[in-house]
Structure 1
């Protein structure tokens, strides 16, 4: 679902302007060490849960909100794991965007939570063991790996 503020921006600037948008990625683990993933409606790719921050929204609050809205799973944020940026993308509707991604390590409040598809952003959601992840991009695997390292300091790309 496209947030209203993004739709308003698109009306003003059109689809060809590359929008730089703040986003969150939640790498959620359950009590069995599995990771929660979604197969996105757009492109059918598997990813951790993610979404765009609303204006003025705290990133950790957005991560909890996105996971709940998309899977029904309630989570707590345990730590900031990384700050990254996505490659530029052209969405199915033609809009161009690039995302500043605040990546959080999260834990399911109920270790026995059963996720479900709750909106039109996913076609499938589920828990996966780390050694049996579904097909996904190398970049998404790297984000999961950064979280799994369990570093106390957040990862970020070094300055050139």
Structure 2
């Protein structure tokens, strides 16, 4: 546990995913560089964001083949947010947005449950772990998905 710079986390994830998917996938950055560092576990946050981004990349298989797959990493500061019955003056808002087919309706309500996967051979633990790691930082993950745009939003309170 130490001071975490969310953009270092994003850059690490970005480089790992681009090694895995060198062609057909663009990982765009849309960063608010004014976001302060916060206390946290960098390794856990890298793993959490990586799990979400890898899921997005797997959902983008057809678009990657077509060469027009895009994942956007967007960071913002959210002000006066309430979650988990707590009010926070400031929170980090990290979006992982992809232009894939969307989360299937059949599993939309359950994607954070263990062993739920939208693909053959998926363990269904990626998002569960991501959620666990984010919750350890007093945060939450939400998902908003329609065909053509899936947006995973991570909120973490800032000091």
TM-score normalised according to structure 1 size:
0.28
Which of the pair has the greater relative contact order for Cα pairs under 8 Å at 6+ separation? 1
Structure with more of its chain in helix, by fraction:
2
Please, what TM-score do these two structures have when normalized by structure 2?
0.28
